[in-house]
Structure 1
Amino acid sequence: MPESVILKVEDLAVHFPLGGGLLGGPRRVVHAVNGVDLELKRGECLGLVGESGCGKSTLALAMLGLQPPTRGRIVVDGTEVGSAAIDRKARARVAQMVFQDPYSSLNPRQTVRKTLADPLRLHGISAASEIDGRVEAMLARVGLRADAAERYPHEFSGGQRQRIGIARALILEPKIVILDEPVSALDVSIRAQIINLLLELKATLGLSYIMISHDLGVVEHMSDRVAVMYLGRIVESGPWEEIFARPGHPYTRALIAAIPDPFKLSRGTRISGEIPNPLDPPAGCSFHPRCPEARDACRVPPIPDLDEVAAGHFVRCRRFHEIGRMQPAAAEA
């Protein structure tokens, strides 16, 4: 794995078998994640976007080692997750997560001091006499006063609770932080503050982020690269400027069209309908039932591979698989 890559995912799949069918029929399987390849470079933010139910959070749990994969390989900072060479404590010191809901992700019976101090004690990476100082320094880093350490989660606003969640994720000094919809549960007036805090921490601490969101507006503001996920697969990835200027997959264009626009400028055609049932995914391209550009070839197997349509820009779509690289004229159309 190149030195510049801190996390690499190869052919990762997470399947959840359900009970047997009626009259002893075969067991059904939910293909939550189905053959994902990703790379996260040191110091970058990778935006992982898609509608609810596409497998983003399941993928994140698998990357952290909290959800056993059905197949595939995950390498974190040069060590394969799940191998004998790395245990759960070691993984926690490399990668942490900031959760979506600041109201349910904190223990209501623990003070902020205990919430931040327990990881230091469990991992034995700080002397007992230093723990209080490290807790207070971390609170200051996320914009909270030292006296917040003696209070309980219910005494804080949503934005303050999310700052505590960020402090908890950073207290072990990880290299990777997975942000699972970190601002979607917050008031609009608070979101910008949390986003700016995350960007400041990334720059000062040299962190690498995976930003999970269904909101491309937030991803556009924070990310260096973007990966678009649909029904357990990556359907497009590339630098954010390239993705937003020349989206190749119809699903990506529909997500961009859904970004709120106060000036009412046309961003493309929005899609209708819901994500198909992962217990019974469509044959061929999984997006074809909702795709305004679907052809007969899209409705039959095999599923096309990710094709490089421009430098560093990959698309999983039948038309690119057949014609090759994106042409400048076609990209502007």
Structure 2
Amino acid sequence: MTAPILEIDDLHVHFPVTGGGLLGTGRKTLHAVNGLSLHLNKGECLSLVGESGCGKSTTALAVMGLQEPTSGSIRFRGQPFSGPEAPGRMDRARAAQIVFQDPYASLNPRQTVWASLAAPLRLHGVTAKSEVEDRIATMLKSVGLSAEQGRRFPHEFSGGQRQRIGIARALILGPEIVVLDEPVSALDVSIRAQIINLLLDLQDQFGLSYLMISHDLSVVEHMSDRVAVMFFGEIVETGPWQSIFTNPIHPYCRRLIATIPDPDVILGRSRKPTDGEQPDPPAGWRFADTGLESPDLTKKPDPSELVEVEPDHFVRLARI
């Protein structure tokens, strides 16, 4: 079996917060990410889903080196990708890039598209003008734009075109991993399908591995090979997308899947699997994090672990 291209093992990200003591001197710790373990295989799309504030973006920032983990490890092709042995920013940029949610805010309004794409190439030693121009023209064509459009400024493009530019900039250095941070949530519904199909085509063309951060489950269902569901800093269920969407087991996961609009349910023609009886956990275990209320993130979570309930399908459980 081929080793994963990215491995996250027991990742913790904590932030100090000021409590309500005298003059604000009380100190507490916010447990943003708690013991998160994931792996990303070559050429697959792994989606990290959950409601706002669950730790998805913090995890993505840790992968990109923009947030230092409190503990745990991140490895790229078996080599350290975090901590004191992590590669420098230049090497990290050639391994992993990110596509941001807001395509306009992520582009410099004072630079042409050509200048935005040329800057990382030159920074990484590609200085020959002909090579820079060829690589920019090829990349723009790959995302559905022309070389001539590269001479324009970001404000001259539509939202969908700007996101294409953001994707081109992320891919210009030839990374193997691309973090997709809500890649279509800021776009019109009519444009989303085009960008999703573009991302899937580019994944095949360049052999990319996607770590997608999203709360749009319809996008997740369409793009993902595997899904990991987060609930306030912890993975509560993970598995192939078919297992997560057709046979959710953890109460939070079932509640999340039940929020997907289903025309058949509205018309009374079928029932979603989440409408049925809650499955029981294995003997000797109970579901962890079952409360519907937000937990106190300044307290250390109760001991629990991911247990395999069917092939490649894991659910967070606690021992009775």
Give TM class, smaller chain: 0.7 to 0.9
Residue 288 of structure 1, aligned match among 283, 291, 296:
291
The aligned amino acid for 1:66 is L
SS in structure 2 of the partner of residue 29 of structure 1: strand
Specify the SS of the correspondent of 1:149: helix
3-state SS of paired residue (1:143) = coil
Shift of 1:76: 1.2
Match of 2:68 in 1: 68
1:191: which partner in 2? 192
Equivalent residue letter for 1:132: E
Determine the C-alpha separation between the residues in 2 that align with 1:247 and 1:289.
16
The reply on whether 1:8 has 2:7 as its aligned counterpart is: yes
Q: What displacement does 1:301 show?
A: 7.1
Q: Give the AA of the match of 2:168.
A: A
Amino acid in structure 2 at the alignment position of 1:76 = F
Please state how far the C-alpha of 1:234 moved relative to its aligned partner.
Answer: 0.4
- Is the Cα contact below 8 Å between 2:126 and 2:132 reproduced in 1? no
- In 2, the alpha carbon distance for the partners of 1:301 and 1:114 equals 47
- Which secondary structure state, in structure 2, belongs to the residue aligned with residue 306 of structure 1? strand
Alignment correspondent of 2:59: 59
Aligned position for 2:149: 148
Paired residues, number: 297
Unaligned ranges ≥5, structure 1: 270-283, 292-299, 323-333
Give the aligned residue type for 1:313. H
User: How large is the RMSD of aligned CA atoms in angstroms?
Assistant: 2.0
Cα deviation, residue 184, structure 1: 0.6
1:62 and 1:301 mapped to 2: Cα distance? 20
CA change 1:231–1:85 in 2 (3 A) is closer
Give the 3 Å change call, closer, same or farther, for CA 301–163 of structure 1 in structure 2: closer
- In structure 2, relative to structure 1, the CA distance for the partners of 1:85 and 1:108 (3 Å cut) is same
Post-superposition shift, 1:20? Answer: 5.2
User: Residues of 2 paired with 1:126 and 1:162: CA distance?
Assistant: 26
What does residue range 197-216 of structure 1 map to in structure 2 within 5 Å?
Answer: 197-216=198-217
Post-superposition shift, 1:246? 1.1
Displacement of 1:289: 3.6
Amino acid paired to 2:15: F
Residue 263 of structure 2 aligns to a residue in which SS? Answer: coil
| Preserved CA contact (<8 Å) 1:285 1:301 | no
1:257 and 1:266 in contact (8 A); partners too: no
Q: Distance in 1 between matches of 2:151 and 2:63?
A: 33
1:254 equivalent in structure 2: 255
Q: Match for 1:307: what amino acid?
A: V
In the alignment, is the contact (CA less than 8 A) between 1:225 and 1:237 conserved in 2? yes
CA distance in 2 between counterparts of 1:64 and 1:47 reads: 16
Cα 1:254–1:93 change in 2 (3 A) is same
1:328 corresponds to: none
Distance 1:144 1:302 in 2: 51
- The secondary structure found in structure 2 opposite 1:42 is coil
* 1:95–1:175 contact (8 Å) kept in structure 2: yes
Q: Secondary structure at the match of 1:5?
A: coil
Question: Aligned partners of 1:109 and 1:228: how far apart in 2?
Answer: 39
The percentage of aligned residue pairs carrying the same residue is 61
